[in-house]
Chain A
Amino acid sequence: MSLPLYLTMMKSHGKMLGGFIYGAAAYIVLIIWIYPSIADMKGFNEMIAALPKGMRKLIGMENGINSLSDYIAGEFYGMLFLIILMVYVILTSTRVMARLVDQGSMAYLLATPNSRVKVAITQAAVLLTGLALIVGFTTLSGIAASEWLIDGYQLDVASFITLNLLTFLVFASIAGYCFFISSVNNDEKKALGISSGITLLFYMLNMAGKLSEKTEWMLNFSIFKWYDPVKVINNETEALWIGCALGILTFFLFMLSVVVFKKRNLPL
């Protein structure tokens, strides 16, 4: 890794990253803040129960809202946060590699005595650091808001942290294949298109898979199969094993990207 490059890259991504962090953190604080009024609302769970099962699954409220944890996991991690992270990962992975090759500024980085492997690892580190910062700040904001902003409702901090770690790992894997696509493409737009295409496909398979039992098999073809926030926060999954698997997958994808980037022709 090249430290000067890393710092420069972090600095130039700072504004965009700041926006994502602010968005995610502000939203989690907001929904925690309004939780008491929803929890106290009579008939809310009945209303939810009246929805078809597939629909409930889709909006992350299979069993209605029984606790603050369920609520956060379903409302925030199941929906908005997922989209925020998807957008961040796709955009940033394209920016750190394909864009530099497309525009030609990669030539300057490689015209210094830093190998392609070193440059690619640095760029991967920038991508993952950004992701970690978003998830990290969101975790802290969530814990802080549930401690200080509302009274009488408990957040299971340990499971909440587990959920966040798993979220990070799922999106690190997504970042992995997006980074790979970004590393093998000379065209920024093409890389962006393929990355978002695949990710959206995964997302749609995930939605379709949750709709009914007939379509449940579709889930098996989506990376989001491993991302079920409500179950994770209720400790109903093998979080440790899923985490390990995702970690290995991520490592493998980034390794592969770096190796392919090292060996390919660059039109610089």
Chain B
Amino acid sequence: MIQVKGLSKRFTKEKGLFDLNFEVKRGEVFGYIGPNGAGKSTTIRHLMGFMKPDSGYSSIDGMDCWKNAARIQEKTGYLPGEIVFLEGMTGLGFLSLVQKMRKQESIKRRDELIERFQLDINSPIRKMSKGMKQKVGIIAAFMHAPQVLILDEPTSGLDPLMQRVFIDLILEEKQNNKTILMSSHSFQEIERTCDSAGIIKDGKLVALEDMHLLRRVQRRIFEVKVKSEDDMNHILQSSLVTEVKGDRTIHVTVQGNDQEFVQLLSRCEVQHIDTRPQDLEDIFMHYYDRREVER
């Protein structure tokens, strides 16, 4: 459904997109992950027809994204990464403008979404918080029941409850056989919704995997506090990567070998266990490093 082939766009020597290739099949949810400035939004701009590639092409449903930009929008919903609306409008005013520009008459879906995200539609947009604006953007992207959804960091600004609502919405659309491409910083978000993911860095796609594999390479660090020195030594002697962090406290790195970790802990007296949330950059770094080594 969404196809990117040899897409290149050079801004400077290092900045831009370099020979990007991936495909999202109908009914698939594709997560697009990468650190800031890696080229996620630039890719999406190409898909939306805002930018013309230097070489290569991208297409949606067989139509070239640059040449047929307007026609593609008929079946596409888009949530920009930067949410800025026209000035001097209310939420409802904006949504109805978008509907009219789409020549869409039914407001059933729109009202359903407003209800779901509990949006106060009559407040002026300039008085809205970032999360509220994000909701307006999400509704604008989903309300015409598009076949394809392109979402640039959809959950930024949403509180955890609304993130949940949003993820449910994505899963529901997935059931309806919609094709979704979403970019994100958050691995968890992608993990919960996506079938496959692409990791982009410095304008190059460094990994294109299904979710299982990514989960396997995802590295987590557990902070474990044990009761005695014996237990501590026990852990240190295991094959897991460990790091002493203080008095009977130890950091254990787990990557794909969860089973081993659990078995090891079962032989110790554990006082306290906690995961250290890793930022995405770390996960990437590690992923890239591993790749380099394998090569």
Contacts and interface: CB of A to CB of B under 8 A. Distances in A.
Interface stretch (B17-25, B44-52, B115-123, B282-290): B44-52
A200 interface: no
Interface in A85-118: 100, 103-105, 107-116, 118
Given A5-B101, A113-B73, 10 more contacts: A8-B86, A12-B87, A100-B86, A104-B83, A104-B84, A108-B86, A110-B50, A112-B102, A114-B73, A265-B50
Interface stretch (B74-82, B164-172, B233-241): B74-82
Interface residues of B, number: 33
A2 interface: yes
A7 to B, nearest CB: 9
A176 B9 CA distance: 31
* Interface size grouping (class) on chain A: 20 to 34
Contacts of B52: 263, 265
10 contacts: A4-B101, A8-B86, A110-B50, A110-B69, A110-B73, A111-B48, A111-B78, A111-B141, A113-B71, A265-B50
B124 to A, nearest CB: 12
A112 B45 contact: no
A150 interface: no
Interface string A255-268: 00000000101111
Which of A4, A110, A118, A268: most chain B Cβ within 10 A?
Answer: A268
A31 B69 CA distance: 53
Nearest to B101: A112
B80 A112 contact: no
Interface of B: 45, 48-52, 69-71, 73-74, 76-78, 80, 82-89, 93-94, 97-98, 100-103, 140-141
B69 A5 contact: no
Contact of B101 (A107, A114, A267): A114
Q: Pick the 6 closest A-B CB pairs, nearest first.
A: A4-B100, A115-B70, A112-B101, A111-B78, A104-B84, A266-B50
Given A103-B84, A266-B50, A8 B71 contact: no
Interface of A: 2, 4-5, 8, 12, 100, 103-105, 107-116, 118, 263, 265-268
A268 B214 CA distance: 30
Nearest to B86: A105
Contact of A105 (B69, B76, B85): B85
Which of A111, A114, A118: most chain B Cβ within 10 A?
Answer: A111
A114 B94 CA distance: 16
Contact of B85 (A108, A116, A118, A263): A108
Given A115-B69, A115-B70, A4 B97 contact: yes
Contacts of A104: 80, 82-84
A216 B246 CA distance: 86
A115 B67 CA distance: 10
